[in-house]
């Protein structure tokens, strides 16, 4: 989509201001963050914004300092600091018939893995409504028996509880469906007694064909007495798994074939991690919700629109039994473009050892985002900004990253880092130039400074050397030098460059690390791969969980299990 010209002017103004304060270099990431911070409604266009920011930043960086200052003045000077504007798109609508102090909500995750970015809406929207109405929020773990592909395991209960703790959301009470199976049996008997259910023994293929054609199974006409007897057989073990199910009598001509005579309970011999083989008949999720939403006093159910058929099932059961149930609200699907979220796939990769546990960045779990240094507050803001829109939304990860930058940028120290390092000796290096004092943050004097060892020998990034072979370049914040055209002096020999001046000239800027005080660094990337490089000596004082910004690379977080003081320093990449 084409962005309005006024937005391009704002970006240019921000880029010029950014360049004037950073040695003439405009950085695209902060430009996008500033715009999104001032107008969250732009987040759905963050990809286009980022592309335009790169183009404008490149153009502005190529200008000399005086031209940048003149252009900024012509646009009215620096833009005021961003004020977070309210977003009507992200406003949560009031809950129907809600009474302050009497609203009861529930989160009902299926315990098949760690909670991920897709579950964040469940957490933070429900929590926002609990706060608004001073109500209660229950955690109801949907630990029905599952399947071979979607297993319930003991560790998942603890994972979910830790994820909620990490999110700062404490449920008012926690329930397990596996503790409530006898209650589900009682409700099943009530539905049977109403004449609205029957025990079906049709083979799966015949069941599917009948549902598709709208035809009744032979057992649909059975008497209530027969259904009661067959139900007891299901409970006692007379039927094997797959031989019988309890089905609800709905309209066989319903426009949605999937709603025709849906299954309420089925037989399973899977070993459950909490109750073992105590129960062999298990409720389908929508039947368990129909029971528990009433018995636990839920007043409003808020969930994805993909569960609308479950709403219909619950309401149908309540009508059969003459019960008024809670209100339903829905949101559309929210996808982060780069996040390939699939619990079943993540489960397989974690179990096989291919992934580094549930905190592996490829899972996009909440704990993996924490490992990358993405704050809970950023995830909360990101999630709530889309409100309860029913539209399906796909946004780039940059939208989440922009939120995180606005939170951590001002408090995150900068550090020098060189990927693919190659040794460069500077011929004619000034003998008077010793260690330099650099700010820990370009705009926050309160973060202090650190002393950085310099040359005459430096580690410089190999890719930048190749790109600028034979040219004059500037080592950022330090000096200018001329690179040789031939960058192949030998396998282990240093490249020799020539000192030209210390003047802050308009030259390509390259990151550097002094050879005599460098620290090996290992970066775990979002795709699970590793890259190595060298960082400045100040990294020796890093601690586990520290957030840092590697200049010209991005934000990283020191690994929690890194033994402080050892090498290499191990960090996980967060975002640009």
What is the predicted pLDDT for the residue at 153? 84
User: Given a cut of 70, is residue 137 above it in pLDDT?
Assistant: yes
- Find the angle CA(226)-CA(228)-CA(231) to the nearest 5 degrees: 105
What is the predicted pLDDT for the residue at 149? 59
pTM: 0.84
Q: What does the alpha-carbon distance between residue 302 and residue 311 come to, in Å, rounded to a whole number? A: 11
CA 115 to chain centre: 10
With cut-offs at 50, 70 and 90, classify the pLDDT of residue 343: confident
* Range ranked top by mean pLDDT from 37-51, 71-85, 188-202, 385-399: 188-202
User: Where do you find CATH 3.40.50.620 in the chain?
Assistant: 94-333
In this prediction, residues 443-457 reach a mean pLDDT of 95
Level-2 CATH architecture, domain 412-576? Beta Barrel (2.40)
Element (H, E) at 386: none
pLDDT in tens, 205-260: 888 888 889 999 999 999 999 999 999 999 999 999 999 999 999 999 998 898 99
Of 195 and 50, the structure prediction assigns the larger pLDDT to 195
With cut-offs at 50, 70 and 90, classify the pLDDT of residue 86: very low
In this prediction, residues 410-416 reach a mean pLDDT of 97
Sign for the pseudo-dihedral over CA of 532, 537, 538, 539:
positive
Q: What does the alpha-carbon distance between residue 263 and residue 284 come to, in Å, rounded to a whole number? A: 7
In this prediction, residues 161-190 reach a mean pLDDT of 97
What is the predicted pLDDT for the residue at 84? 41
Sign for the pseudo-dihedral over CA of 201, 206, 211, 213:
negative
What is the predicted pLDDT for the residue at 148? 59
What is the predicted pLDDT for the residue at 163? 96
What is the predicted pLDDT for the residue at 327? 96
- Residue 466, token pair as written in the block: 């190749």
Average pLDDT, the chain: 90
Q: What does the alpha-carbon distance between residue 33 and residue 288 come to, in Å, rounded to a whole number? A: 44
Q: N- to C-terminal Cα distance for the chain?
A: 24
In this prediction, residues 357-362 reach a mean pLDDT of 95
In this prediction, residues 155-161 reach a mean pLDDT of 93
Which residues are within 8 A (CB) of 466 and not within 5 positions of it... i.e. 6 or more apart? 487
User: Where do you find CATH 2.40.240.10 in the chain?
Assistant: 412-576
Nearest in space to 177 (alpha carbons), one of 82, 38, 284? 284
Beta bridge partners of 423: 459
What is the predicted pLDDT for the residue at 436? 96
Annotate 93-137 with DSSP letters as a single string: PPPTT--TT--EEEE---SSS--BGGGHHHHHHHHHHHHHHT-EE
With cut-offs at 50, 70 and 90, classify the pLDDT of residue 54: confident
Sheet holding 554-558, edge to edge: 414-415, 547-550, 554-558, 569-575, 518-524, 530-536, 417-419
CATH code of 94-333, in short, is: 3.40.50.620
What torsion do the CA atoms of 356, 358, 360, 364 make, to the nearest 10 degrees? 160
Percent of the chain with pLDDT over 90: 69
Of 95 and 344, the structure prediction assigns the larger pLDDT to 95
Residue pair 402/36 in contact (Cβ under 8 Å)? The answer is yes
pLDDT in tens, 14-47: 888 877 766 677 877 777 766 765 665 666 666 6
pLDDT in tens, 298-310: 999 999 998 988 9
For 188, phi then psi, to 5°, come to: -60, -40
Residue pair 129/135 in contact (Cβ under 8 Å)? The answer is yes
């Amino acid at each position: 989509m084409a962005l309005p010209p006024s937005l391009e002017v704002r970006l240019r103004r921000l880029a010029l201001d950014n360049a004037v304060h950073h040695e003439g270099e405009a950085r695209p990431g902060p430009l996008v963050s500033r715009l999104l911070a001032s107008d969250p409604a732009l987040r759905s266009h963050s990809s286009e914004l980022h592309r335009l920011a790169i183009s404008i930043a490149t153009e502005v960086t190529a200008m000399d300092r005086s031209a940048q200052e003149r252009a900024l003045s012509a646009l009215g000077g620096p833009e005021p600091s961003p004020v977070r504007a309210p977003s009507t798109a992200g406003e949560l609508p009031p809950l129907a018939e809600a009474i302050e102090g009497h609203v009861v909500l529930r989160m009902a995750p299926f315990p098949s893995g760690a909670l991920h970015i897709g579950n964040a809406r469940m957490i933070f929207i429900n929590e926002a409504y609990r706060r608004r109405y001073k109500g209660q929020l229950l955690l109801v773990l949907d630990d029905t028996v599952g399947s071979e592909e979607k297993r319930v395991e003991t560790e998942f209960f603890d994972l979910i509880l830790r994820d909620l703790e990490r999110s700062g959301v404490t449920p008012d009470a926690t329930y397990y469906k596996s503790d409530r199976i006898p209650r589900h049996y009682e409700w099943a008997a009530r539905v049977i007694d109403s004449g609205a259910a029957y025990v079906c023994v049709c083979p799966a293929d015949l069941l599917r064909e009948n549902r598709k054609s709208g035809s009744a199974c032979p057992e649909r006409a059975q008497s209530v007495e027969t259904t009661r007897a067959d139900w007891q057989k299901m409970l006692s073990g007379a039927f094997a798994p797959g031989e019988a199910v309890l089905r609800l009598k709905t309209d066989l001509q319903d426009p949605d074939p999937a709603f025709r005579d849906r299954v309420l309970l089925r037989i399973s011999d899977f070993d459950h991690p909490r109750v073992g083989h105590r129960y062999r008949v298990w409720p389908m999720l929508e039947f368990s919700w129909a029971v528990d939403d009433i018995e636990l006093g839920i007043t409003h159910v808020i969930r994805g629109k993909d569960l609308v058929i479950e709403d219909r099932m619950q309401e149908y059961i309540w009508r059969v039994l003459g019960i008024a149930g809670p209100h339903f609200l829905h949101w559309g699907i929210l996808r982060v473009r780069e996040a390939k979220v699939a619990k079943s796939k993540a489960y397989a990769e974690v179990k096989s050892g291919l992934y580094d546990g549930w905190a592996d960045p490829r899972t996009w779990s909440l704990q993996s985002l924490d490992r990358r240094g993405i704050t809970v507050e950023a995830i909360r803001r990101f999630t709530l900004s889309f409100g309860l829109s029913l539209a399906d939304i796909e946004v780039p990860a940059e939208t989440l990253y922009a939120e995180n930058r606005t939170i951590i940028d001002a408090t995150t120290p900068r550090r020098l880092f060189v990927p693919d390092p190659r040794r460069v000796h500077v011929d004619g290096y000034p003998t008077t130039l010793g260690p330099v004092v650099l700010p820990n943050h370009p705009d926050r004097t309160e973060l202090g400074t650190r002393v950085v060892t310099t040359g005459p020998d430096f580690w410089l990034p190999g890719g930048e050397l190749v790109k600028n072979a034979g040219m004059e370049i500037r080592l950022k914040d330090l000096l200018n030098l001329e690179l040789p055209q031939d960058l192949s002096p030998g396998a282990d020999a240093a490249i020799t460059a020539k000192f030209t001046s210390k003047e802050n000239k308009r030259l390509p800027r390259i990151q550097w690390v002094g050879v005599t005080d460098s620290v090996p660094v290992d970066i775990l990337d979002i795709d699970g791969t590793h890259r190595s490089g060298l960082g400045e000596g100040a990294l020796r004082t890093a601690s586990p969980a520290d957030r840092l910004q590697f200049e010209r690379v991005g934000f990283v977080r020191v690994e929690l299990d890194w033994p402080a003081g050892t090498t290499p320093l191990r960090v996980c990449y967060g975002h640009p």
